[in-house]
Chain A
Amino acid sequence: MNPRLAQKIAFAVLLLATLLVVLPVLVILLIIVGKGASAISWDFLFSMPRDGMTAGGIFPAILGTLYLVIGAIIFAVPLGVLAAVYLVEYSSDNWLSRLVKLSIVNLAGVPSVVYGLFGLGIFVTFFGFGASILSGSLTLGIMILPVIITSSREALESVPRHFRTVSLSLGASRWQTIRHSVLPHALPGILTGMILGLGRAAGETAPILFTVAAFYLPRLPQSVFDQTMALPYHLYVISTQVPGIAENVRYGTALVLLSLVLLLNLAAILIRSRFRRKKKW
């Protein structure tokens, strides 16, 4: 075949594939915004549900999801980053570290409903936290750990090796080297992992199903040991379990969930770009 023609065909196929990827995202967004925008109002966002969820707002679910995501991040980010630092900077390449790395990869592949069951067994029953924000956050935290660890490891490994050599050669200890010459430069990458984990934690339904989510709870949680409503579960309930919910309320809830994730991501991206501006090599 004529190489010029071959190039044109290849280019067209690649472009088509790219457009096909964008298409579903756009369609989903269009449908959700189109059908849900009419439900969004001050009252919908900031008031309690009434009359078995057929009227009123979704404020407890919004707040609940926020609590859960923040809780999951608080548990998973320090733990994940510290583990990644250990794996990249300290552990030597032996069977134990290989086993740990393999487990992390496998952890990422575990279906989310299994995390839910695990959370039920460990946090709700065994530790006796009950169905609570604490149990839900811990379960979500464990679910996003592999994402955090993997992206933190990549971020740490992408810091040039010579930063460490130079720092050590100037008489810094290994920990000082990590603290001052490695971690600051890995921060943007670590934050990227946090953003990914955040989105996942906000959207998952199965892990919170058994561990925290309340079907209908028209009051705000008072402590971490309270149950709470959460957006993904709320969406599932009003779409399948309760008859007679207006369509725009269902899509409106989905729209709120999407916007919330987007907002959280935006905040994290802004923080990241602040760190990136300082990074230069």
Chain B
Amino acid sequence: MVDPAAKFSIRAFHVHYGQFSALRDLNLEILANEIFTIIGPANSGKTTFLHSLNRLIDLVPASRCRGEISLDGINIRHGLEIESLRRKVGIVFALPLPLPISIFENVVYGLRMQGIRDPRLLNEAVERSLRESYLWEEVKDRLRTPAMNLSGGQQQRLCMARILAGQPDVLLFDEPTSGLDPISTARIEETLLILKKKYTIILVTNNVAQAARVGDRTAFFLMGDMIEVSDTGKMFTTPADQRTSDYITGKFG
């Protein structure tokens, strides 16, 4: 039964790293324009799941995936070229990882790789995506300076702009604020709430409170199993599973 509003639908999905089973029998629908948050302790398969969605998991030589993931009804393994999948499904990593080139070149990197050369198009994309990630005002006068000179929070917003430039459908965030101070974190969270009007957002976070603040729906992962998924409000008030409740209230983690 496939929900027509589903952006991603994941059916009986498993991931193994060699002998180690990282993700087991995952069945999940992610809806368009929601912020879907994933919480859970370390090594519970959250990042593995994110990396499965844009096939970054293929970079791990020992990884094997079973089951099916489709994006807008199209199987991401057979129906789509890997480059266009990754353009549609952008990812922001836990650490801000700008490339050691200028701010401008970081933002247009994906576009250049598509072969777009027209300076007018590139300039427009830079301004649009930097505005969308609320970085434009801070960097508009120094677009040609090295991205490495920005602060951590600015770098992370640059990484957001970098994927927004390619006009993706889905934004994946892998603990995007784990290395940031509270003020930068708040700015990123505000940005997420605005971005969800245009994009589908999947946010993995170590910070349970963050999931409660920004999430529409939340899933709890533990040791490769999805224990529970429900509306964020419901999960944080009346979790169905004892383990979820223990994790949320900080009994382990």
Q: Is the CB of B166 within 8 A of A171?
A: yes
Q: Is the CB of A185 within 8 A of B97?
A: no
Does any Cβ of A come within 8 Å of B75's Cβ?
no
Given A180-B113, A280-B146, also A170-B93 (CB < 8 A): no
Counting contact residues on chain B (CB < 8 A from A), the size range is 20 to 34
Q: Is the CB of B109 within 8 A of A172?
A: yes
Chain A contact residues: over half helix, strand or loop, or mixed? helix
Q: Is the CB of B166 within 8 A of A165?
A: no
Q: Is the CB of A162 within 8 A of B97?
A: yes
Complex CA gap A93/B62 in Å reads 12
Number of interface residues of A (CB under 8 A): 21
How far is the CB of B217 from the nearest CB of chain A, in Å? 24
Does any Cβ of B come within 8 Å of A163's Cβ?
yes
Choice from B56, B59, B95, B148 contacting A281 with Cβ under 8 Å = B148
Q: Is the CB of A167 within 8 A of B99?
A: yes
Choice from B61, B100, B146, B163 contacting A170 with Cβ under 8 Å = B163
Q: Is the CB of B59 within 8 A of A168?
A: yes
Q: Is the CB of B86 within 8 A of A168?
A: yes
Choice from B83, B90, B100 contacting A280 with Cβ under 8 Å = B100
List which B142-192 residues lie within 8 A (CB) of chain A.
146, 148, 162-163, 166
Q: Is the CB of B113 within 8 A of A172?
A: yes
Complex CA gap A92/B148 in Å reads 32
Chain B residues closer than 8 Å to A185, beta-carbon distance: 100
Chain B residues closer than 8 Å to A181, beta-carbon distance: 99
Does any Cβ of A come within 8 Å of B54's Cβ?
yes
Hey, what's the 0/1 contact readout for B3-45 against A, CB within 8 Å counting as 1? 0000000000000000000000000000000000000000000
6 contacts between A and B (CB under 8 A): A162-B97, A168-B86, A170-B87, A170-B166, A181-B99, A280-B148
**Interfacial residues, chain A to chain B (CB-CB below 8 A):** 92-93, 162-173, 176, 180-181, 185, 279-281
